[in-house]
Amino acid sequence: MATLRLGDTAPDFEQASTEGPIRFHEWLGDHWGVLFSHPADFTPVCTTELGTTAKLKDDFARRNTKVIALSVDPVESHHRWVSDINDTQNTEVNFPILADADRKVSQLYDLIHPQASTTATVRSVFVIDPQKKIRLIITYPASTGRNFDEILRVIDSLQLTDHHSVATPANWKEGDDVVIVPSLQDPEVVKQKFPQGWEAVRPYLRYTSLPRRTAG
């Protein structure tokens, strides 16, 4: 299939997992979702990533976000790997890991890159909104652990900008000032939307503040 792009509907599927069969869209429900792939079980970088994800359970929950991992090994291997993750990372894995032994999900999400491997998935992250639209795609090299602070930051930005006529500037994090989108030009509408005021550094660069928002 064609490469997935931002704004595409996340492909639905049914696949085995460490928590039983998963029908993806049904499992996601009205939540945001993070789907992240791993080339194989018992890999060192991915072990630390899954442990980190488990420790961030409350952070994802505050953002109305469910997480699900994927590896091409079978369920039995996943369960053994989970024991290692829990032991080495001092946590308890609290989310499903898809057992994509037949590569069905990997093919749907274009995770098999011949330049990297003809059998194992690349290490990609997909952020999916409650309408099942793909809002973020990041693919990492095998040697570099994923930055989950950045994944949470992007979810915060997406949830904020979905509800307000703003965008988030470079290195923005929750609570920082945002910028009013250039398409919003009517002065009366701007005053109505931003009664707290704003700073116009340039006509197209207007900073303002918004209440903190972390829920989807």
Catalytic residues: 46
Q: Residue 60 half-sphere exposure, CB side, CA atoms within 13 Å?
A: 20
Contact 137, 128 (CB under 8 A): no
HSE-CB of 52 using CA atoms within 13 angstroms: 14
Tell me, rounded to whole angstroms, the distance of Cα 66 from its chain centroid. Answer: 9
Q: Which helix (H) or strand (E) holds 136?
A: strand 134-140
What is the total residue count of the chain? 216
Spatial separation of the C-alpha atoms in residues 185 and 201, rounded to whole Å: 15
Assess contact for 208 and 178: CB atoms under 8 A: yes
**Is residue 139 classed as helix, strand or coil in its secondary structure?**
strand
